[in-house]
Chain A
Amino acid sequence: MSGPRPGPGSGPARPALDLSLLPDGGVRWLDASGPHSDIVISTRMRLARNVSGYAFTGRARDGERLRMLAQVRDALTEVPSLQGSLLLTLESMPAVERQLLHERHLVSKELAGLDPQQPVRSGAAVILGESVGLLVNEEDHLRLQALRSGFCVPEAFEAVQRLDAELGGQVPYAFHREFGFLTACPTNAGTGLRASVLIHLPGLVLTKEIGKVLAGLQQMGLTYRGLYGEGSEVVGNFFQLSNQTTLGRSEEELQDLLVRVVRHVIEREEEARRVLVRDAGYIIEDKLWRAYGTLRYARSLTFDEAMNFLSGVRLAVGLKLVTGLSVYTLNKLLIFAQSAHLSYLEGRALTDTETNLARAKYVRQVLTSEGGGVE
């Protein structure tokens, strides 16, 4: 267990966050090794938990949150899932590093304090283990999460459940005989489980089937969000699908529901792609190659442009129009072409214009060195 990293006041030349210290580099979920990883980028299982004896984070005072964090830290030596993990106290990290963790989907926007209206709070921390993480003092005291590559619900669930059992044996959770695990927002009470997949659905968007599919999954009790969860916009045809309710169904039922519905959505997406190729083959091919060409040669790219063109190239790879370009490379571009990552790469803060230039340069370099060819 590593201790908290030094804060900004601890030395004049504080080194930037060393990403190599993160277990797995924090990006194993990107490696495209999981099932259906051409369509499903990742699976995330999250459990919301609170510790009894404390006010919920939003109402807790600084001292209470710090004591909560201390209590969790004390318990960690007894939690095998988090052996060798890294504790990062977010309040002592500069904004760009907090954003970096957010861009890697390791911390939420709220915990990272990226909203100027709600700056990072004292006691905000993330504890990162091998493919599991623990967010401390987010909306709930504890958010346990497991992230896996591809469509991998049972494995992710097993990992988060193990962490839950180990931690819940050391730290007393707030649990109610009738309402289950108690959370700050009643929308998370009961199991506290949010089971979600990040999925790429360009075929359904292109064929305009997406409206029907989304309406259908809402009827089944699932909901959708953008790339970064609650409140984020759908960009580049990436959707996060998750269970809408957390109470009244068991963890297993919620998992089964997600698996069943996502399997159906994957089939619909594959069917939509077949329809596109059959009915509009030359139009699709032309547009996807234009997307590839733009990424390959553009000198400036906004984030939304990059995501949308990457969506096109991802579809082109799925349709086998572009060969020699791995899904892993595409996943990597999705994450590393974001602004905090580009700043990190360049070793300095970038203006918006510089970020767009750096993004185009990075994408060009990766596509040049990691391939993609004409069939």
Chain B
Amino acid sequence: MLCDNCQERDAVVHVTRVVENAVTQLHLCEKCAAAKGVETTLSVPQHPLGEILQAVQQQAASTGEDALSCRFCGATARDFRATGRLGCPHCYDAMEHSLRELLRRLHGSSRHVGKRYDPPAAHLLEKADTVHDLRDRLRRAVDAEQFELAAELRDRIRVLE
């Protein structure tokens, strides 16, 4: 097949896209294709979760902090490595060092320079720390066999009750 453009050389690049079975078929020789800047590959979409898991795993391997766990939700560094998801906001403090490194790798920076935020009055914050929440955390601690944390939570529930 001859090139649609020069009608001289053989067409080696076949441009077909937009509408499957129905849109353009442009047959070009190498030279005309290059002149039009035609490339033959479409880059593959990225999968953010795959990337972050890879980064997290590299991170864990380099810091050896697998045993770190969050005292609020009981999530461990190992949980994070498996899912790429943290357990609660306190995990950022529990795993601060390795997270700082990871954030730097993911974003090129670990420092927030955007909008600052002041939470509303303190009584709203305290509202969340109820017996219900402590019980949920206790159940999670028991599930994760974190008995030291479980004992502490049980004591706090007793005080509140």
Contacts and interface: CB of A to CB of B under 8 A. Distances in A.
Contacts of B60: none
Nearest to B19: A312
A263 B52 CA distance: 29
A320 to B, nearest CB: 17
Contacts of A205: 17-18, 42
A234 B45 CA distance: 9
Contact of B112 (A50, A172, A191): A191
A176 B112 CA distance: 9
Contacts of B111: 178, 247-248
A57 B107 CA distance: 23
A67 interface: yes
Contacts of A170: 120, 124
A59 B74 CA distance: 10
A125 to B, nearest CB: 18
A237 B18 contact: yes
Nearest to A209: B37
B8 interface: no
Interface stretch (B21-29, B61-69, B145-153): B21-29
A280 B4 contact: yes
A311 B18 CA distance: 7
Nearest to A237: B18
Contacts of A209: 37-39
A275 interface: yes
B102 interface: yes
Contacts, number: 234
Given A61-B136, A182-B89, A191-B115, A206 B17 contact: yes
A55 B22 contact: no
A13 interface: no
* Chain B interface main SS type: loop
Contacts of B84: 185
Contact of A55 (B4, B26, B88, B102): B88
B128 A186 contact: no
A248 B110 contact: yes
Given A64-B136, A172-B120, A59 B39 contact: no
Contact of A207 (B15, B20, B42, B100): B15
Contact of A212 (B39, B45, B113): B39
A145 interface: no
Given A245-B107, A248-B109, A175 B133 contact: no
Contacts of B132: 63-64, 67
B99 interface: yes
B59 to A, nearest CB: 10
A173 B48 CA distance: 25
Contacts of B45: 224-226, 233-234
Given A54-B128, A61-B139, A226-B45, A179 B92 contact: yes
A45 to B, nearest CB: 13
Contacts of B158: none
A212 B107 contact: no
B36 to A, nearest CB: 7
A230 B108 contact: no
Nearest to B13: A208
A308 B124 contact: no
A352 interface: no
Nearest to B83: A58
A251 interface: yes
Contacts of A283: 4, 24-26
A288 interface: yes
Given A53-B128, A182-B92, A59 B73 contact: yes
Interface string B93-116: 100000110110011111111110
15 contacts: A55-B73, A59-B73, A59-B75, A60-B136, A172-B120, A180-B114, A202-B17, A206-B18, A207-B36, A207-B37, A209-B38, A247-B106, A280-B24, A287-B19, A304-B20
Interface of A: 50-56, 58-61, 63-64, 67, 71, 139, 168-176, 178-182, 184-187, 189-191, 193, 202, 205-212, 214-215, 218, 223-226, 230-231, 233-234, 237, 245-251, 275-276, 279-280, 283-284, 287-288, 290-291, 294, 304-305, 308-309, 311-312, 315
Interface of B: 4-5, 13, 15, 17-20, 22-26, 36-43, 45-49, 52, 72-73, 75, 83-89, 92-93, 99-100, 102-103, 106-115, 117, 119-120, 124-125, 127-129, 132-133, 136-137, 139-140
